[in-house]
Amino acid sequence: MTLLPGWHPVVVHFPLALVLTSAAALCLARVLRQQGLAATLATVGTWNLCLGTLGALLALGTGLAAVIDLHPGPAARQAVSLHLKWAVVTSLGLLILAVWRGAGKPQDSRPSRLFLVLLCAACAALIMTGYRGGQNVYRYGIGVMNDSSSRPGI
């Protein structure tokens, strides 16, 4: 048994919150006319994207650590595998976007339309990854303790 599996449910919320907030801030930075506010939103969006990407990589690591001790049935194994595939592709996409935004442009510059389209696609992939993870918990009981002795009336 490793130390990291119990941290996955905690860590996954950070990339969701930070990346989605980043997308909103960067979209607003693109459309607002007031230069000072747009620059501030672009900076906030850039930082949130970079921090959210680090959170996604940490969530991927803790998720992989959680899978090590997992012994699900065939249907649950397929669901976990699908969630993992979404997580890897999404994390890679976010990493590319974070490097593009964080190292390629000044943080207070307005993002390009192409960047925003790709960021929105990455947000959709992140939401789908989270949905798949939720299905693993609520449909297949992955990561849920099955201790019937602690339940009253059973």
Q: Which CATH number fits domain 5-143: 1.20.120, 1.25.40, 2.60.40, 2.40.128?
A: 1.20.120
Amino acid, res. 19: V
Mean pLDDT of 47-55: 97
CA distance 136 to 76: 7
Rounded to whole angstroms, how far apart are CA atoms 52 and 50?
Answer: 5
% of the chain residues with pLDDT over 70? 90
CA separation, residue 114 to residues 52, 76, 87, 100, 119 (Å): 20, 37, 22, 12, 9
98-143 pLDDT tens trace: 999 988 788 899 999 999 999 999 999 999 999 999 999 898 888 7
pTM of the model: 0.87
All structural domains of the chain with their residue ranges: 5-143
Q: Which of 124, 139, 123, 12 is nearest to 80 (CA)?
A: 139
